[in-house]
Amino acid sequence: MHHVTITTTGIFNAIRPSLLPPIEGKETTTFLLGLDFNTGGIIPFYDEEQDDVVVNGPHVELERQRIRAFVKAVCEEMGKPFEECRNAFLFSLPEFIRYGTYNGQPLLEKPRTGEYEAYVMYKSHRGRKLLFQQGRQPKDEVQYVFDNMLRHFIMTLFSDEGTYGYLADVKHIETPLSLGVLQQALEDIWSADEDIFSEGVDAFSVPNHYVMTEPTQVHSEFLLLADALGAYMVQSMDGETESDALKTLSKDVLLQHICESMYKMYMAPSEEAAIDVYDDCERWLNPLIRQCWNSQYTMVRRTLKQVPTYDDGVLGYVKEQKVFPLVAHVIRELSTENLGVELYPKVHQYKQYLDVLVPYADRVEDLYRKRYVGVGDELLSVMDESNPFGQGDSADVDDPFGFTDPFGMNNPDDMPPVDVELCCHVYCALDACQRAIRGERMYHNLIPIVNFLDDLVAHADIPSPDSWQYEYMLKVGRLSKWYRALAYAFTGRSEAESLFKELIQDQEKDPLEYESYSDAFINNLANPSSAFDLDYLQLALLHFYVETDNRVGYESYIETSYPPLFSMRFDWVSQMHILLNENGYEAEDEYTQGNHYWNYTNAAFLLWLKAVWHFHLDHMDQECWEELGTLWDATYKNSNYLRHTQDHYAYLECVKYMVKLAVHFGDIRRAEMYKRNLQTLIDEAYQFGWAGTALGYPWNASDYCIMAQINESLGKLDLAKEQYDKAYALVSFAQDKWRYFEGKHGNIWDLPIAVDPEAAQPTLTEWLTNYTPKFSTIEEYKKALVSWMSFVFH
């Protein structure tokens, strides 16, 4: 539930003076801001007599008391009335807004339930001069400016593109100003989309005064706090230019924590506070945001032509804060979706990248809608027909990619035509790598594909290091090396070590930016972001060392390159406590100590378990095992605990090793308990079923392999053999699907498998119906499965 207070500073004092006196020398610095007290979905209190679910809600009322207590504490310490305590009040404001305390001490017995967020809009100097050319500020002119700015503020914040159009749970807005414009704007939004305010929003006018001594009176506590925040911002504005002042303000620690973008749905999170600007730039900035929101990328290119090249007034800030992040987002989205590689150009390269990506996306979008696209003869023939470059009569054909003279530049040499065929080959090769890993981890199928990729990279024509092709092919080369390293590692080839080391050195020496989508290491191996994440690369090398019994390599590398936790080589007890403690590694912030923690992942704990099992089992005794089991049980006792899902397959592997250790130490009770809990977890993951459920295959191959190993450890060999057989049936079907995929697209990677271009697509039902057990022993199944899951069987 949100309780929003709207207030003003600067020129708007002419129609409504602030509860805090203006800052000397900055009397005209103008903000319109909304301070939101967000109680986070708490069910509101309903008072039948008052017919009010918000104003008298217990959490809001408790916060009113806390604000009064805060003011009282400041005045008592200063020994002065509130009117004379402005500086002390503003100095203490960050602590109170963030933590609800004063000088580190709570103000009420009950803690705060909720948090503050702020939405800020600044009125530029240039905009004020255009309105008040005579240098006077009559009240009616100020009111006119306020009405227009407030309407824009409300429409931006509450429409379907803004923050609360997404959250849709604002119930109360209060302001000391006229409600007419506010209510009309809300009604216009509601009439356009009734779902946004399905239960209505109450807008209240609050008195423009503050009384602390009469607790039964309806007060303006939140208005006081909002006015204080406005004064705090005005006081913090500092810089030689208007843009400099806004940049300085956006770096304020308090605002970085509470100030949110009004376009929360689209603007990417930033470390800097999001301060919006009301100025002439709204003519092109708002359309630009809407066009990005609606993926109208051709229109984005056109709108960008309206952005001035100079940085006078607030333009420098607006570009840096809004325009550049939007363009960067568009480039990342287009490059990821259509090239299979996420590109991060420098600002001076933005236009070049857009000039390539936007027309390219328009031309090939339909070809990429299906994830199973290949680069067979049919696709290439379409490409050839649509690409006039190099054809004899191309001069008479409109350039479909817009490179000849995109913005009237008449300088085509700056932007050579994109090689569509090359990009399509790269896209499909990268897509095939991801499919091979996700399709039951068929790492042995990767090597011919990365050979193909490497050949593409080697023969690519790169105009200059400042071109889009340079970043593109550089990242393609790293991705190819990452997938090759995985292929070698999971098929037991020693060359994986040098490849992992090269990738780590490359990323340390020349870091390439790529958004990391998940902290789930095992689940995320196929994702391209893994090739550019130093933690992932280091963890992959360490897991490889353990899997290949390279104790020397493991211990020498982990002490020099991984978190301090693992530098305690033989202090297994301390490591164990840190890894299994939810709040493992403490850090500090500027207000509190010990409030932030580094939580080690399931993949890190799996690494520790594997290293203990393979290298240091002799360092564990019965007492140490009992301590480990107790910690594990306490950490994972809640079946809904986040660590179960944070890296699902890393967790399954952890359970497998915990069972191995339990059996080793004769703790069969725990081993059986871990098995039951894991089976329940896997069953819950497939509670809605999938295609194989009705055929007696409710899990996937990896689940069957892990559970088979657990049963093998427990001596339940018949059950283990049955589960190995089911795993083999499923991976055999996956391989047959891969043959169909390759046959359909001409076996472009030249895989060493027999393919039939005329074959029908295999179905799971037909495959499993006709499947018969293949082998007679567990060892035969494991030998047959090892090329798919060598790490699983080590």
Interval 250-295: pLDDT, tens: 999 999 999 988 776 566 667 888 899 988 888 898 889 888 888 8
Q: What is the C-alpha to C-alpha distance for residues 322 and 262, in angstroms, rounded to an integer?
A: 11
Q: What is the C-alpha to C-alpha distance for residues 586 and 619, in angstroms, rounded to an integer?
A: 27
Of how many residues is the chain composed?
Answer: 794
**Nearby residues of 682 by Cβ (< 8 Å), 6 or more positions away:** 652, 699, 703, 707
The per-residue pLDDT for 450 is: 93
Q: How far is CA 370 from the centre of its chain?
A: 24
Residue spans of the chain under pLDDT 70: 40-57, 127-137, 161-162, 164-169, 192-200, 212-219, 264-269, 362-418, 440, 519, 562-572, 581-600, 636-645, 745-747, 750-757, 789-794
Contact yes or no for 426/339 (Cβ under 8 A): yes
Reduced to 3 states, what is the DSSP secondary structure of residue 34? strand
φ, ψ for residue 205 (rounded to 5)? -95, 125
Q: What is the C-alpha to C-alpha distance for residues 317 and 734, in angstroms, rounded to an integer?
A: 53
Reduced to 3 states, what is the DSSP secondary structure of residue 775? coil
Pairing of strands 101-102, 105-106: antiparallel
The per-residue pLDDT for 177 is: 87
**Nearby residues of 94 by Cβ (< 8 Å), 6 or more positions away:** 232, 253, 254, 591
pLDDT digits (tens, 9 = 90+) for 710-734: 999 999 999 999 999 999 999 889 8
The per-residue pLDDT for 59 is: 84
**Strands of 504-567, DSSP E:** none
Reduced to 3 states, what is the DSSP secondary structure of residue 595? strand
Contact yes or no for 83/95 (Cβ under 8 A): no
- DSSP-assigned letters across all residues of 387-427: --TT-TTGGGS--TTS-SSTTS---GGGSPPP-HHHHHHHH
**Nearby residues of 543 by Cβ (< 8 Å), 6 or more positions away:** 489, 606, 607, 610, 791
Which residue, among 372, 301, 365, has the nearest Cα to 330 in the 3D structure?
301
Greatest Cα pair distance, the chain, in angstroms, is: 96
Contact yes or no for 576/631 (Cβ under 8 A): yes
Contact yes or no for 757/744 (Cβ under 8 A): yes
Which residue, among 118, 182, 119, has the nearest Cα to 155 in the 3D structure?
182
**For the range 130-136, what are the long-range contacts, defined as Cβ-Cβ under 8 Å and sequence gap of 24 or more?**
130/280
**Nearby residues of 633 by Cβ (< 8 Å), 6 or more positions away:** 670
φ, ψ for residue 576 (rounded to 5)? -60, -45
The per-residue pLDDT for 8 is: 94
Task: Enter the tokens of residue 343.
Answer: 């590109």
**Nearby residues of 183 by Cβ (< 8 Å), 6 or more positions away:** 203
N-term to C-term CA, the chain: 52
Contact yes or no for 118/130 (Cβ under 8 A): no
Question: To 10 degrees, the CA torsion angle through 55, 60, 62, 64?
Answer: -80
Which residue, among 144, 150, 112, has the nearest Cα to 3 in the 3D structure?
112
Query: 598: which strand partners?
Result: 585
Q: How far is CA 595 from the centre of its chain?
A: 23
Q: What is the C-alpha to C-alpha distance for residues 243 and 239, in angstroms, rounded to an integer?
A: 8
Q: What is the C-alpha to C-alpha distance for residues 326 and 348, in angstroms, rounded to an integer?
A: 15
Pairing of strands 593-598, 585-588: antiparallel
The per-residue pLDDT for 387 is: 35
Buried b (16+ CB within 10 A) or exposed e, 344-355: bbeeebbbbbbb
Pairing of strands 2-8, 105-106: unpaired
The per-residue pLDDT for 236 is: 92
- The CA–CA distances, whole Å, from 246 to 12, 126, 185, 227, 233 equal 19, 14, 28, 19, 10
Pairing of strands 585-588, 275-278: unpaired
Helical segments of 699-757, H only = 701-713, 717-744
**CA atoms within 13 Å, Cβ hemisphere of 686:** 18
Q: What is the C-alpha to C-alpha distance for residues 726 and 702, in angstroms, rounded to an integer?
A: 10
Q: What is the C-alpha to C-alpha distance for residues 160 and 265, in angstroms, rounded to an integer?
A: 9
Task: Enter the tokens of residue 456.
Answer: 């593409």
Q: What is the C-alpha to C-alpha distance for residues 450 and 478, in angstroms, rounded to an integer?
A: 11
**Nearby residues of 224 by Cβ (< 8 Å), 6 or more positions away:** 19, 20, 67, 71, 210
Buried b (16+ CB within 10 A) or exposed e, 683-697: eebeeeeeebeeeeb
Task: Enter the tokens of residue 307.
Answer: 């952005």
